[in-house]
Amino acid sequence: MNRPTEEQIREVLAGTSTPETAGLVARWFATDEGAAYLSRNMDCEVEQVKPGYEEFYVDHEINSDELFARIRRNIRRKRIHRITFRVAAVLVPFIILAGLFVQLDKRVDLFGVSGYEEIYVAKGERLQMMFQDGTRVYINSDSRLKYPKKFALSSREVYLEGEAYFVVSENPKRPFIVNLNGPAIRVLGTSFDVNAYPDSKDIAVCLDEGRISLTLPSNKEYPVQPGERLVYNRDNDRCTISRNSDNRFSSLWKTNVIAFRDAPLAEVIRVLHRWYNVDFKVNDREAWNVYFTLTSENTLLEKVLRDLEKIAPLRFNYDEAEKEIIVTTK
């Protein structure tokens, strides 16, 4: 490695350097060249008195016995100093590195022992949060996110059940990984929506910008480009990728907009159940064959139900006794 400048070395030994400079000098001290330099530097500080010339450094008269005793003490002291400083030449780099190591461990999980936090967003609620690396995540209703208290040094991994929208802080050396109970999404610096509720056979990923890839337990990898929608079927282990005509549609929920596009009643009921924590009862089999396309910025349940009735041959009536919404045909 490159040798630090004399000024950088002096700053480190004086304790006035920056952490970056200290790290550079400490790594050089750990080399053979650096250790030899440090040993020489320390020896010079204690070798001001050369053997045989000790008396020239005594500026007053002194009897020979006392002089001899002092010389012997000086010799012993210098020997101890030499041993001590040679040991220090080895220890100082590690002490400096240890200090930097402690500072680094405060920011990242070097040993994988920091533990995990888990957050559950209940039905009828949504949540936005930010990780320590600057990554933002919007979590939809009835979703669970598990994340480490501190990200690891080489990767950033979270575990998701449900739906979330991620805006990942870019760091090619520390990929962001979203684990989906088997499949996993590998991210470099990206904005994307992932829908992976446990009660659904499909995992859907819509990429707005950046680069991601879905890795299956079989190690098959599917890269996704901006504007594409990936759907993975857990039952048949098949994966399809298609162009998304409106790549922002899938993430409208994070702005409190309810949106359906050619969605069957079953999907509408699942979404409304999560958004409002209400149950539905369908009394007519024909109702399951009705599809809906709707975008509503007014997220009051009553208003959404009235909008659904306007575009479909169905009625949605709230039964207060049973605390459920009864779906019938008109």
- Pick from 9-23, 71-85, 205-219, 234-248 the range whose average pLDDT is largest: 205-219
Fold of 116-249: Jelly Rolls (2.60.120)
Percent of the chain beyond pLDDT 90? 43
Percent of the chain beyond pLDDT 70? 72
- Residue 173 exposure: Cα atoms within 13 Å on the Cβ side: 3
Fold of 256-329: Phage tail protein beta-alpha-beta fold (3.55.50)
Which pLDDT tens digit goes with each residue over 168-196? 988 888 889 999 999 999 998 789 999 99
Within 8 A by CB and 6+ apart from 137, the residues are 128, 129, 130, 131, 145, 158, 164, 165, 166, 167
Every domain of the chain with CATH number 3.55.50.30 lies at 256-329
How do beta strands 212-215 and 221-224 pair? antiparallel
Residue range 83-111: mean pLDDT, rounded: 49
Q: Rounded to an integer, what is the distance from CA 41 to the centroid of its chain?
A: 43
Residue 122's pLDDT is 93
Report residue 147 as tokens.
């994340």
Every domain of the chain with CATH number 2.60.120.1440 lies at 116-249
Residue range 39-57: mean pLDDT, rounded: 52
